[in-house]
Copies of this chain bind each other. A is one copy, B any other.
Amino acid sequence: MILDERKRHILESVIKDYVATAEPVGSRAVVRKHALNISAATVRNEMADLEEMGYLEQPHTSAGRIPSEKGFRYYVDCMMENENPSDEQIEVLHKILEDSIQEWNDVVQGIGHFLSQVTNYASFIIVPSVKFSQFQSLQLIPIQEGQALVLVVTDIGIIMHRKIAIPRSIKARDLQAIGDLFNRAFRGKRLSEVQRSDLQLLRDELKNRRQVIDKSLEALDNLLDSPHDEKVVISGALNILKEPEFKDMDKLRRILTLFEEDGPLKGILPEQIKEGVDIRIGQENQAEDIKEMSLVFAGYRTAGEMGKIGLIGPVRMEYWKAAGTVESVRRIIDDLMNSSGSDPKLFKK
């Protein structure tokens, strides 16, 4: 569907105004703020057309118009220009990342904060499951009498650990030997490929150190299952309190509940995700719970797997700013992850 220049201009005016004020915008307001040299009456005619085409709608007959979801969609697809964060803001983000380097958790936290602070929307980051990254090494480390630590390192440098109890007769040397065995068996495999059958095999092979092996396997098994798969970090959830559309307690509660636990959020994003910025407006969302909200998200690539970052806001969202910010941040993460650059970056390949 092609709109002529004037209609596009009017649609844009309505969107910008409505996003800023959350109030329906009338014909007068459009001519006043965006001084075209046409009269309010003309604008009214055009707006009537736009309404018929489905890009605008009226809450009731004697109110102004608000953009429909289709209107937003048209704007996003055909007219929008991303608004990137300012250089100072980018600078700030780089600073945050430098400060928190080495610590994966801090990095993610920092990015989340940044996203939500700059845009004033709730942000989320989904870190891909470690199951899909490669097993790098396993170590068994004595930490005190009768206890050892199972330490697993993946190729992208994520560290997981679990304590196990061991018989007192086992010495540090034995532990090391057992660890080496694991490494020979598994090195380079993806964690998802480490099947239980493999584990069983190993177990059989080492009857004499049964107990430690069993415990280690159990711990490893446990780690593979554990909540490390697809870690979700949410930031700035309270930003939605600012939006007038959520003054209703029930709505508010439903939305915030989404954020309180990690599970639900995963469900609302598409399984497959492309690398660029993607936008889902209101009803376009599959999940029932967020059909009155919009998503702006993107995938980032890390060690071969896709992670996701994005923003959640009302349908009346500053898509240009959201998309610009998400895209910028995505680029920065990609750089960080995949640079085989000069000085020590976060993760080496």
Contact = CB atoms under 8 A, between A and B. Distances in A.
A163 B136 CA distance: 15
Contact of A157 (B137, B139, B163, B260): B163
Interface stretch (A65-73, A143-151, A278-286, A310-318): A143-151
Nearest to A164: B102
A301 interface: no
A98 interface: no
Interface string A213-233: 000000000000000000000
Contacts of A159: 143, 149, 161, 163
A165 B344 contact: yes
B103 A162 contact: yes
Nearest to A139: B141
Contact of A238 (B103, B141, B253): B253
Interface residues of A, number: 32
A257 interface: yes
A34 to B, nearest CB: 32
Interface in A227-262: 237-238, 241, 247, 249, 252-253, 256-257, 260
Contact of A141 (B141, B144, B157, B257): B141
Shortest 3 CB-CB distances between A and B: which pairs? Answer: A143-B153, A102-B163, A241-B253
Interface of A: 102-103, 136-137, 139, 141, 143-144, 146-147, 149, 151, 153, 157, 159, 161-165, 237-238, 241, 247, 249, 252-253, 256-257, 260, 344, 348
